[in-house]
Structure 1
Amino acid sequence: MIITFYGAYGRDFPGDGTVPVAALIRAMAAVGIDAPSVRSAVSRLKRRGLLTADRPGSKAAGYAPSPAARQLLDDGDRRVYTRPVPDGRWLLAVFSVPESERTRRHVLRSRLARLGFGNAAPGIWIAPSHLEDETRHTLVRLGLDAYVDLFRGTHEGFEPTAEAAARWWDLEAIAALHRSFLSAHEPVLRAWSRRRKTPPEEAYRDYLPALDAWRRLPYADPGLPAALLPRDWPGARAAEVFFALHAKLRDAGRRYVLGAGDGA
C-alpha cells in the first residue's frame, strides 16, 4: 500500500517527493493501517533500496523514492494508467543461467512471470511486444540482462494462436482476479455515481485501495489481443471500473493527501 501511495501521490510532495513520516502515518491510518505497521514497512522498503531517508531520526524525518524506485514507479505508470494496444507481435525472452547460479534462475523466472510473461517452453518466455521497455528496465535494474536475449516476432506455429495463448497463460486464474476486483470495487463506483460532491478524504479512502488492487492486474494480465481471449472476458469491464474511479476520485484524494502533508 505504501508503494501504491508513492505511485499515486508521494511524488507530488515537495522536496523531490519526500513524504514526512507524520504525513505518511496519517495517510495510511485513513485506509486502516496503523503506525507500527507503517514504520515496519518503511524499514523493509529502506532495506530493499526503494526508499531513502531525509533527516533520519528527527521529528521532521521523511522518505522519498530511491532512483530505482522512481524507475519502478515510472514503468508502473505506463502499465497501470494506460490501456495497452497490442500490435499482434510478441516479445520472446530466452535465457540460460548456469547451474551454479540457480538462485538467479529462480529470480529471473519469477520476475518474468510478475511482468506478465507466459511460459512457452523451458527457458523461453513470451509476452506481447508492448512490454519490451519495461522488461529491459527491470532486467537491467536487477542485473539479469546478461543472461537473457530478447526477440520480437509473430506466432507462426501449427497450433492456433488462441489455443497456444491458453497454454502460455492461466486465463481462468487471470479472469478470476478481474472478477474479484469487480466484486470489490464496482459497488464503490455505483455509490459514487449517485453523489454530486466528492469529499477529499472519502475520495482518498476509496481510491487508494482500488488503485492498490488494480495495479496488480495489468501485471497478471499482460494485455492480450481480444481475439485471443474468451468471449466473456471480464478484463474490459474491470478496466472501465478502475478508470472511472480514477477520473472521479484521484484528484480529490490528492487534495486530502497534500493537505495532510502541509500539516506535518
Structure 2
Amino acid sequence: MEKQFNTRSMIFTLFGDYIRHHDNVIWIGSLIRLLQEFGHNEQSVRAAISRMSKQGWVQSKKIGNKSYYSLTERGQARMEEASKRIYKTDHPSWDGQWRILVYTIPENKRHLRDELRKELVWSGFGLLSNSCWITPNPLEEQVNRLIEKYDINEYVSYFNASYEGMNNQSDLVQKCWNLDEVNAKYQSFIQEYSQKYVIDKNRIEKGELSNGSCFVKSALLVHQYRKFLFIDPNLPQELLPKRWLGDSAASLFKDYYNMLIEPANTFFKEVFEMGEINQIKEELKK
C-alpha cells in the first residue's frame, strides 16, 4: 500500500482514537502491524516513536525483550484537548470577555518564540499585534501548561478583559483570524468527503468493505479532520460569520466516523489482542 501521511502524525491519530482507550499502552509490534495498513514500514515506525519519546509525547517500558509505549502526562493532556475539539457537540459558550496573552521573551531564548507561536495557534489564539495574542475562550489551563513547559513564567503576562472599541467585535475577529480561508477549507472537506461518505455507505450496506478497510478509512478521516485544529480557533457562535461551514463539516465528519468506527474498532482489537496473546505465549516459553 502507498504510504499516506507521515508516520508520526498517524501514530498520534492512533493514540488519540484507539490506544488511549485501551489502558494507554501498546506493544511496538502491534503498532508496527497497525501502521502497515497505511503503508508505513517497521523502520519508519521505530524512528517516529523514538522521536516522539525524545519530544516528551510518549514513554517506553521494557517487559522482557518487548518494548511497550504509552502517552506521557503531557501527551494525554494534548490528546484529551484534541478529542474534545474534534468530537465537540456545540460551540463554546462566551462570557463576553477576551483573554490576552503578552510575552517578552529575550533574544537568547528566541528559539522558544516559534514553538510558543505554534502552540498558541493550535490552542485557538489569534495574533492581535506583535507578541500579543487573544482568545474569547477560557484557556487558562492550556496557558499554564505552556508556561510550565517552556519555563517562561517571568516573560508572560495574561489578562482577562472586555473589548471597549474602537471597532466592533467582528472587526477584531477579522484582524486576528482569516475565517474566510478556514471556511474555504471546510468547503473543500465537505465536497470531497460527502462523496466518499455516500460511496462507502453503499459499500458497507453491500458488505464490500472489510474491517481493515474501515479501520484505515476511519483513521485517515480523523487524521484529515484533525488538521482543522491548527486553523480553526473554535470561536463562540456569536463571533462567527453568518455562512459558517464548520458546523456542516462537523456533522458530516460525525456521520462518516460513526458509520466506520464499529468495524474499525473490531480490526484494531484483533491486532491489539493478538499482540497480547503473543506476549503471553513468549512468557510461557520461559
With the shorter chain as reference, the TM-score category is: 0.7 to 0.9
Measure, in 2, the Cα distance between the counterparts of 1:56 and 1:179: 48
- Structure 2: state its 5+ residue gaps: 1-9, 276-286
Note closer, same or farther for the CA distance 1:74–1:138 as it changes in structure 2 (3 Å cut).
farther
**Is 1:161 equivalent to 2:163 in the alignment?**
no
Measure, in 2, the Cα distance between the counterparts of 1:252 and 1:135: 38
Measure, in 2, the Cα distance between the counterparts of 1:257 and 1:85: 32
Measure, in 1, the Cα distance between the counterparts of 2:42 and 2:188: 28
Count residues with an aligned counterpart.
261
Secondary structure at the counterpart of residue 214 of structure 1? helix
> Residue type of the partner of 1:25?
I
Measure, in 2, the Cα distance between the counterparts of 1:147 and 1:163: 29
Deviates more, 1:39-48 or 1:82-91: 82-91
Match of 1:65? 71
Match of 1:182? 190
| CA RMSD between the two structures | 2.3
Note closer, same or farther for the CA distance 1:214–1:135 as it changes in structure 2 (3 Å cut).
farther
> Residue type of the partner of 2:51?
R
Deviates more, 1:39-48 or 1:79-88: 79-88
**Is 1:19 equivalent to 2:32 in the alignment?**
no
Match of 2:282? none
Note closer, same or farther for the CA distance 1:239–1:146 as it changes in structure 2 (3 Å cut).
farther
Counting only pairs closer than 5 Å after superposition, residues 76-225 of structure 1 correspond to structure 2 as 76-82=82-88, 83-87=90-94, 88-194=96-202, 195-196=204-205, 199-225=210-236
Measure, in 2, the Cα distance between the counterparts of 1:78 and 1:89: 22
Task: Decide whether the 8 Å contact of 2:112 with 2:150 is kept in 1.
Answer: no
Counting only pairs closer than 5 Å after superposition, residues 45-56 of structure 1 correspond to structure 2 as 45-55=52-62
Note closer, same or farther for the CA distance 1:105–1:218 as it changes in structure 2 (3 Å cut).
closer
Match of 1:28? 35
Task: Decide whether the 8 Å contact of 1:28 with 1:38 is kept in 2.
Answer: yes
Measure, in 2, the Cα distance between the counterparts of 1:20 and 1:46: 14
Q: Give per-residue Cα distances to partners, 1:136-163, cap 9 Å, x unaligned.
A: 3333333334432222233221212112
Note closer, same or farther for the CA distance 1:115–1:150 as it changes in structure 2 (3 Å cut).
same
Q: Give per-residue Cα distances to partners, 1:184-231, cap 9 Å, x unaligned.
A: 422222223334367432221111011111122134111223443333
TM-score by length of 1: 0.88
Measure, in 1, the Cα distance between the counterparts of 2:268 and 2:154: 41
Secondary structure at the counterpart of residue 215 of structure 1? helix
Measure, in 2, the Cα distance between the counterparts of 1:227 and 1:257: 40
> Residue type of the partner of 1:66?
T
Note closer, same or farther for the CA distance 1:36–1:176 as it changes in structure 2 (3 Å cut).
farther
Measure, in 2, the Cα distance between the counterparts of 1:113 and 1:23: 33
Secondary structure at the counterpart of residue 39 of structure 2? coil
Measure, in 2, the Cα distance between the counterparts of 1:164 and 1:222: 14
Secondary structure at the counterpart of residue 43 of structure 2? helix
Secondary structure at the counterpart of residue 55 of structure 1? strand
Secondary structure at the counterpart of residue 233 of structure 2? coil
Secondary structure at the counterpart of residue 120 of structure 1? strand
- Structure 1: state its 5+ residue gaps: none
Measure, in 1, the Cα distance between the counterparts of 2:171 and 2:111: 32
User: Identity of paired residues, percent?
Assistant: 25
**Is 1:38 equivalent to 2:49 in the alignment?**
no
Note closer, same or farther for the CA distance 1:127–1:262 as it changes in structure 2 (3 Å cut).
same
Match of 2:240? 229
Q: Please report how far the alpha carbon of residue 126 of structure 1 lies from its aligned counterpart in structure 2 after TM superposition.
A: 0.8
Secondary structure at the counterpart of residue 44 of structure 1? helix
Measure, in 1, the Cα distance between the counterparts of 2:200 and 2:130: 47
TM-score by length of 2: 0.81
Measure, in 2, the Cα distance between the counterparts of 1:263 and 1:127: 46
Higher Cα radius of gyration: 2
Secondary structure at the counterpart of residue 150 of structure 1? strand
